[in-house]
Amino acid sequence: MSRPVVVVSDPLPEATLAELRPHCELRLVDGRDRADLLASVADAVALIVRSGTQVDHEVLAQAPALKIVARAGVGLDNVDVTYARSAGVTVVNAPDSNTVSVAEFTVGLVIASLRHICAAAQHVSEGEWRRSAFMGGELAGRTLGILGLGRVGRQVARRLTAFEMHVIAYDPHVSAAEAAEVGAELVTFDTLLTTSDVLTIHLPKSPATTGLLGESELARVKPSLCLVNTARGGIVDENALAAALKDGRIACAALDVFAEEPPRASPLLHLPNVLATPHLGAGTDSAQLRAGRSAVHSVLRVLETAGV
Ligand SMILES: NC(=O)C1=CN([C@@H]2O[C@H](COP(=O)(O)OP(=O)(O)OC[C@H]3O[C@@H](n4cnc5c(N)ncnc54)[C@H](O)[C@@H]3O)[C@@H](O)[C@H]2O)C=CC1
Ligand SMILES: O=C(O)CCC(=O)C(=O)O
């Protein structure tokens, strides 16, 4: 009897692939290569992805035997979940797998931004030593605004209250009591915009959140604002943000995510007050192992239930 085909189209740790191998024909492909992806899913029962693969209508329509799409991570914005479910395909993610890694990375970006660590390191590597060029600011006493107080937002709040920041948050699905548990004060969206010294974004990308921070929202922030985005590109309008950074209406931004990745044409690239990283929030061994294992276990459960 032929073994069920499982396609893995983004890198996963070898230890997680080893758990799958005995149970299936494992097909490793590059999800960014559309032709290869479309050909590979034609007889697949399961597809495991991270953020590099677009699981859209075309991919799903090409995979009539598909039973599950497992996201080895959190964001499902690269999966057409509505169409998948209407076609009887289970869609799962790995909600807690990378929370701590993203929160720690966010803290790193906040400190690096306020203390100009990356620019200063570059400066020294070029043989320079102008200490006065990198005067920074303390976190202590500054107001941290968190947009989206879910798993990552709460872990960021816990960590940055320890740095003596005053933490405020906007999240319509969270109560004041839940926010208080992690040291955050719930405020309105407008208060978040107008009073944050550092504003960090931790919500999913969806039609409702795309462009949530556009020209008019960015016009209301403090000119000294440091904006941090480890959630998804496109939640902030890149053209509006680039214009504000160029005009000094926003002091700086630290961005791990872009509307298009890699961000070949982003107006935010090469600005001196932008610290850009290549979608590294979940880039730790532990997070990748947890996310990969979670996706693999979901696939194995579905294969077992379906008896394939
Ligand atoms: N850079 C990276 O490597 C990673 C990025 N992410 C991104 O971070 C996002 C957040 O992750 P989690 O905290 O685990 O998700 P979560 O689902 O636990 O929390 C998201 C929170 O956003 C809130 N929210 C939704 N719409 C909102 C709105 N319009 N205004 C304010 N709050 C709103 C929700 O109520 C929820 O509390 C993910 O969806 C993903 O896109 C996640 C993991 C890794
Ligand atoms: O797959 C990755 O490493 C990116 C993680 C991510 O963005 C997510 O889990 O939402």
**Cβ neighbours around 7 below 10 Å, total:** 28
Most ligand 2 atoms within 8 A of CB, residue of 74, 232, 261 to mutate: 74
Section 297-308 average pLDDT: 93
40: tokens are 């590979």
Nearest ligand (C-alpha, residue 291): 2
- Contact between 165 and 196 under an 8 Å Cβ cutoff? The reply is no
User: Is 279 designated active site?
Assistant: yes
Most ligand 1 atoms within 8 A of CB, residue of 51, 74, 97 to mutate: 74
Nearest ligand (C-alpha, residue 212): 1
ipTM score here? 0.99
Nearest ligand (C-alpha, residue 182): 1
Which residue has its alpha carbon closest to ligand 1 atom 30? 171
Section 236-259 average pLDDT: 98
Q: Give the pLDDT confidence of 23-43 residue by residue, as tens digits.
A: 999 999 999 999 999 999 999
| Domain 5-97+286-306: CATH class, spelled out | alpha beta
The pLDDT of residue 291 is: 98
- Which residue in 50, 151, 232, 293 is the catalytic one? 232
Atom of ligand 1 nearest to the CA of 95: 14
Section 292-297 average pLDDT: 98
pLDDT at 306 exceeding the cut of 90:
no
pLDDT at 137 exceeding the cut of 70:
yes
- When the pLDDT of each residue in the chain is averaged and rounded to a whole number, the result is 97
> Which residue, 178, 246, 243, 168, is CA-closest to 213?
243
Looking at the chain, the domain(s) classified CATH 3.40.50.720 span: 5-97+286-306, 99-276
Second-level CATH architecture of 99-276: 3-Layer(aba) Sandwich (3.40)
pTM for this model (two decimals): 0.97
User: Is 178 designated active site?
Assistant: no
> pLDDT tier at 148 (50, 70, 90 boundaries)?
very high
Query: Could you give phi then psi for residue 303, rounded to 5 degrees?
Result: -60, -40
Q: Give the pLDDT confidence of 193-228 residue by residue, as tens digits.
A: 999 999 999 999 999 999 999 999 999 999 999 999
